[in-house]
Structure 1
Amino acid sequence: MQKLTPEYLHINQRYFEYIFDTLNDEGLILNKAYYEDMLGKHLESDIMISPKGISFLHENSTIDKVKKSVKGIAVIISDIPGL
């Protein structure tokens, strides 16, 4: 939780809230992301990543690996004469 702050992530508070609103709207986190009081919005300590969020992270890392592999193959193929 100490690293889930706008300061740690080097972003402003408004963008930080937008990120968590979007994560919530997309169903990527469970529970409410934050609560609001007279001092502003505060991240809840019991937020959790949802199964949909886990799937999203897994798929994105897989896509990233595929992109890196395709780039590597493109370099190899470009060195083959006649292709």
Structure 2
Amino acid sequence: MKYFSSIEEGQAIVQSKGTYRQVPLYERGGRVYAKYGAGFVRLNVHRTTTNPSVKWVEMDTPNGVVKEVGHEVLYTPNDAPALEAAE
């Protein structure tokens, strides 16, 4: 089982019902999550999350790369091993 791991220095701004919050970022299985209340919301493309009333406005991950693939936001740390081509 994969657990939530903190993204070092990762931050996001999320908005719900007109209130903005700065929250820490986490990853689980390469997917990006924001701490929200007592739990987490997964960040999706088009600034949506798994909670329909919560949107993400900005995010910063200085120690890794974030990219949007399909409907998900994925994270790769800068120190991740490079994939080698099969010979």
**TM-score range, shorter-chain basis?**
under 0.3
TM-score (norm 1): 0.27
Normalized per residue, the structure richer in helix is: 1
- 1 or 2 for the larger relative contact order (CA 8 Å, sep ≥6)? 2
Normalized per residue, the structure richer in strand is: 2
TM-score (norm 2): 0.27
